[in-house]
Amino acid sequence: MQEIDEKSLVAASKPELIILDTPELNAETPPHLLDDDITPTRRLFARNTGVMPILSDRDLADWSLTIDGFVKTPKTWTLKALRGEFETVTQAAVIECAGNGRAFFTQPTSTVMWQHGAVGCPLWTGVRLADLLDRCGVLPEAVYTAHHSPDRAIESEGAALSRGVPIAKAFAPETLVAYAINGEPLPPLHGGPLRIVAPGFPGAAWQKWLTRIEIRDRVHDGPKMTGFWYRMPRVQMHYGEPVDESLMEPITDMPVKSVITFPQDGFSAPAGPPLTVRGQAWSGHIPLAGVEVSFDGGASWQAATLGPLRDAFAWRRFEATLDTPVRGAVEIVARARDAKGGVQPLESVPWNPRGYCNNMAHRVRGTVE
């Protein structure tokens, strides 16, 4: 099978990203480049689980989406029909890899050592999945969706990924079948011409190169839906102990999190002027409630000012200022909290087999001279 040199494609189109040394494509954004309220496409992280499909102009022109399974009437739409028959929706929404922060576990988990940059908040444009499902007539037995795409696994000829979402999430107003990002057609590198947008869920649920949505009467069990893939334990586990797969369940909500975008790690600031820190904070389905910032490594905290919330699943800018910074080393820490009291931990979250959902607080170190 002919393959695209995906890493070279990212190096050319996203030269500011850091490409990780993994067989599949993983490229993250340095935190200081996430300062935009709407992440430019050139700065959005890239993650493929398998071999990206090669799409010709004819492939793109003939692309269609089929919905079948537990529905009254299976239907297929072309791209033109999707744009013409349904209301167009544009929303800002955070997409984050479930493994973002994995590099900060102290015990081994997985080979994809994301730090803070497997996240972004672009504008997504498409149609509500609920509107498509309404046309098909979902049957009472429906429990889960199953998403299907033409990308292939690296190690075999099978599908690289086939994930889904609970039927309630499929009908949620924020869940889209998207064909554009930041006002431009969705590029193949980001799943074009069609992908799922499932805000609050990990990025793996946002299936790329979407050709079919199967409605199932059970939790989907496609590639990377079972075992330890994108699943978290219901009880705390410890490295080295036997892992009971029956205790694992799909990740359906990303935890509250924040990233410092200014100043950059390793900064040097003059003594006298106020020292300002800013960044972005977000949460999954539980709304963001606030952000605190420490200028002394977590010994003391002050509330940050939050900017406006553009859309329900967008991130929010935060800012805080230290009026009289001391001379010498400074360690800035930001921690966000959600409306149910969840707070970013200062250290790594408890270990889990693949190192998911590590939302530990971001630290930036520098000097004031």
What CA–CA distance (Å, rounded) separates 342 from 169?
22
Tokens matching residue 167: 């039927």
**Which residues belong to CATH 3.90.420.10 in the chain?**
6-250
Q: To which H or E segment does residue 134 belong?
A: helix 129-136
CA dihedral 120, 126, 127, 132 (to 10 degrees): -90
Kindly report the average pLDDT of the chain as a whole number. Answer: 96
What CA–CA distance (Å, rounded) separates 362 from 280?
11
What CATH number should be reported for the domain whose range is 257-368? 2.60.40.650
Query: Model confidence at 1, in pLDDT bands (50, 70, 90)?
Result: very low
Please give the pLDDT value at position 3: 64
Tokens matching residue 75: 């239907």
DSSP label of 324: S
What CA–CA distance (Å, rounded) separates 284 from 255?
6
188-208 pLDDT, tens digit per residue, is 999 999 999 999 999 999 999
What CA–CA distance (Å, rounded) separates 96 from 204?
9
Helix then strand then coil, in percent of the chain rounded to 5, is: 15, 30, 55
Please give the pLDDT value at position 138: 98
Does CATH place domain 6-250 in 3.30.70.890?
A: no
109-142 pLDDT, tens digit per residue, is 999 999 999 999 999 999 999 999 999 999 999 9
**Which residues belong to CATH 2.60.40.650 in the chain?**
257-368
Higher pLDDT among residues 104 and 325, named by residue: 104
134-188 pLDDT, tens digit per residue, is 999 999 999 999 999 999 999 878 999 999 999 999 999 999 999 999 999 999 9
**Beta strands, E only, 62-116:** 64-69, 75-78, 89-92, 95-96
Q: Which of 246-260, 271-285, 316-330 has the lowest mean pLDDT?
A: 316-330
Q: If you search the block for the tokens 């003939």, which residue do you land on?
A: 62
Tokens matching residue 283: 């949460």
Tell me which long-range contacts 205-208 makes (C-beta under 8 A, separation of at least 24).
205/163, 205/164, 205/165, 205/230, 206/95, 207/147, 207/148, 207/149, 207/161, 207/162, 207/163, 208/48, 208/149, 208/151
Q: Which residues, in sequence order, are bridge partners of residue 47?
A: 26
Query: Across residues 211-234, what is the average pLDDT?
Result: 97
End-to-end alpha-carbon separation of the chain, Å?
57
Question: What is the identity of the amino acid at 47?
Answer: R
What CA–CA distance (Å, rounded) separates 90 from 62?
24
pTM for the complete prediction? Answer: 0.96
